[in-house]
Amino acid sequence: MNFFLLSLLKAAVVAGALLFTLAYLQWVERKVIAHIQIRMGPSRVGPHGLLQPVADIIKLLTKEDLIPPYVNKFFYMFAPFLAITLALTSIAVIPFGPEIEIFGVRTRMQLADLNIGVLFILGISSVGVYGIVLAGWSSNNKYALLGGLRSSAQMISYELPMALAIVAPLLLANTLSLGELVEKQGGAFLGVVPRWHVFQMPFPQVVSLIVFLIAGFAETNRIPFDLPEAENELVAGFHTEYSSMKFASFFMAEYANMITICSMATVLFLGGWQPLWPAALGSSYVPSLLFAGAAAVMIYHGLHPARPKDRYTLPAAGVVFLLIAGVFLLPPLRPFLIPVFWFASKTGFLLFVFIWVRGTLPRFRYDQLMRFAWGFLFPVAMLNLLATALVVALVSR
């Protein structure tokens, strides 16, 4: 009985955290891009625009749901459901922390501990293209159809270098379990440099990480690889004919896939929940110091406000951050929270890189996109895999 209660608790926590992240990731993206482009971003709904995601949800829920004539209604309705379901399913095998004990039961901080977790995520991502293709085909719209066809060619092309980039750390760890992958990246070289795969030879494996992230941009249809949606050419690509919550499903699926890609990069290359330096050197106090420092900055700017409302909102946020800093110092919660902090910090940094690239780079032409995949990225990934296999074979002899 404890096992089932624990499973329900983990599912509720992961689902709540994921939905909250999906809601506010678009707020973060709009704020970051606004700073890059020297403008305000969301600022009218709530303090600093923090209630903008709530307003967007209300708008999408109450917006009229139109179904164009002559569409294939079954696949037209099924496509967004398939896209969001597959996007949310992948997160079930991502480990957020080590094995812990709750209610007397030993369990990993993940929903499903599969021995073939890597293959599971690769399989889900391969099937995910069907949601986009079905959306374009069933809409009975030539622009949506072209967007869906572009997407299928793009995602299949970039799946190959992504898979080759994933195989390199798998050779180093000799396991397909995501939890074991993270555990084998524990410790440090010379007591200082983390044993993360990104720091291991050959080259080191930063080449695999870069290839994986570039392919991840294409898999999630993000700039500069957002040809399936190319607004200046195809109106909105495969989801041109969708509105209300069906459109929101594709929107959520894109951000959920971003989170999955960044989480996978963290697990495969950046040590997962492993700290940046050993706990013996004080890494366990980093969360409290960061939140306390952020609180001090907020309180200072609240006492010297640039805008009238900052006099109240920033000190209130500072008090909240001080409380969070104190929570990280509570001995019963430290085994749970500190690994999650390191995992979330690395994943959040990679999500920031995704947003940064969107606000910086222009879109590729379609011929450039395909040439880059087959003429550059695939050969680089193959050479990196062969070099990694050679090093592993020589070391294991």
Does residue 333 surpass a pLDDT of 90? no
Count of beta carbons in the 10 Å neighbourhood of residue 392: 16
Residue 22 lies in a domain: no
In whole angstroms, give the CA distance from residue 237 to residue 142: 9
Residue 182 lies in a domain: yes
- pLDDT at residue 223, as a whole number: 80
Taking a C-beta distance cutoff of 8 angstroms, is the pair 350, 262 a contact? yes
Residue 310 lies in a domain: no
Taking a C-beta distance cutoff of 8 angstroms, is the pair 265, 350 a contact? yes
CA 219, chain centre distance (Å): 12
β-sheet bridge partners, residue 99: 108
Cis amide prior to 204 (ω within 30 degrees): yes
- pLDDT at residue 298, as a whole number: 92
Could you tell me what percent of the chain has a pLDDT over 70?
Answer: 97
- pLDDT at residue 157, as a whole number: 87
Residue 356 lies in a domain: yes
Alpha-carbon torsion 68, 252, 128, 377, what sign? Answer: positive
Residue 306 lies in a domain: no
pLDDT tens column, 65-118: 888 888 888 999 998 898 888 888 888 889 888 888 777 777 788 888 888 888
Q: DSSP strand E in 198-342: where?
A: none
Confidence label for 232 from pLDDT (cuts 50, 70 and 90): low
Taking a C-beta distance cutoff of 8 angstroms, is the pair 77, 243 a contact? no
- pLDDT at residue 297, as a whole number: 93
Does residue 262 surpass a pLDDT of 60? yes
Residue 286 lies in a domain: no
Confidence label for 32 from pLDDT (cuts 50, 70 and 90): very high
In whole angstroms, give the CA distance from residue 368 to residue 279: 46
- pLDDT at residue 266, as a whole number: 94
State the residue range of the domain holding 253. Answer: 56-274+330-396
Alpha-carbon torsion 188, 192, 196, 200, what sign? Answer: negative
Does residue 231 surpass a pLDDT of 60? no
Q: How many domains does the chain have?
A: 1
In whole angstroms, give the CA distance from residue 348 to residue 352: 6
Instruction: Kindly report the backbone phi and psi dihedral angles of residue 121, in degrees, each rounded to the nearest multiple of 5, phi listed first.
Output: -65, -40
The three-class DSSP label of residue 78 is helix
Does residue 1 surpass a pLDDT of 60? no
Residue 131 lies in a domain: yes
User: What's the angle, vertex CA 32, arms to CA 31 and CA 34, rounded to 5?
Assistant: 65
β-sheet bridge partners, residue 97: 109
Residue 392 lies in a domain: yes
- Kindly state the tokens that stand for 342: 């390191």
Taking a C-beta distance cutoff of 8 angstroms, is the pair 217, 297 a contact? no
Count of beta carbons in the 10 Å neighbourhood of residue 88: 21
Residue with tokens 């689902």: 15
pLDDT tens column, 41-73: 888 888 888 889 899 888 888 888 888 888 888
**How are beta strands 193-194 and 97-102 bridged, if at all?**
unpaired
Count of beta carbons in the 10 Å neighbourhood of residue 332: 7
